[in-house]
Amino acid sequence: MRTVVYPGTFNPITNGHTDLVERAASIFDQVIVAVGNSTQKSSRMSLQTRVALCQQVLGHIRNVEVSSFTGLLTDFVEQRGARLILRGLRTVADFEYEFQLVGMNRVLAPEIETLFLAPDEHFSYISSTLVREIAGYGGDVSQFVHPVVAAAMRES
């Protein structure tokens, strides 16, 4: 069975994330959406809330599992018996950062490969950071996220 791990903070999960998960689910037997914390990003929503939102948003896809993780991604991937990491690329600027991650992960766990997918072009401008910023100013984020996520952001 081919399993891929799609990691991120999903702070919040956007329509672009959902697009990538749907694409991956059509390619792989199992997609594990690994929701983690980042020491470099502040989060308005708890890890448990972000996991619950991902589960609600992605619940329609039969071969997707949502799980939280802490620590090194490579350790999580190995613990889950996977050998593939999925990362999304929206822009050329994303590539530079992602390429650094690939290099570090190869040193930590050379047996794990990283694959990249690009979202549909009409999702390429959506980022969790921008969605949080719009929501922080009271803006309407409903065109960028699932309705349950938009509601959760209004409440937080």
pLDDT at 48 (0 to 100):
96
Structure tokens at 83: 């050998």
Catalytic residue among 2, 38, 41, 46: 41
| Number of residues assigned to the chain | 156
41 catalytic per annotation: yes
Cα dist from 130 to 32, 48, 100, 127, whole Å: 25, 22, 23, 5
Q: What is the pLDDT of residues 59-89, one digit of tens each?
A: 999 999 999 999 999 999 999 999 999 999 9
User: Which amino acid makes up residue 80?
Assistant: R
Rounded Cα–Cα distance for residues 10 and 17 (Å): 8
46 catalytic per annotation: no
- Give, for all 156 residues of the chain, the pLDDT tens digit: 799 999 999 999 999 999 999 999 999 999 999 999 876 666 679 999 999 999 999 999 999 999 999 999 999 999 999 999 999 998 887 888 899 999 999 999 999 999 999 999 999 899 999 999 999 999 999 999 999 999 999 987
Per CATH, domain 3-155 is 3.20.20.70 = no
- On the CB side of 62, CA atoms within 13 Å amount to 3
Catalytic residue among 83, 90, 106, 124: 90
H helix and E strand count, the chain: 6, 5
Give me the residue spans of the domains in the chain.
3-155
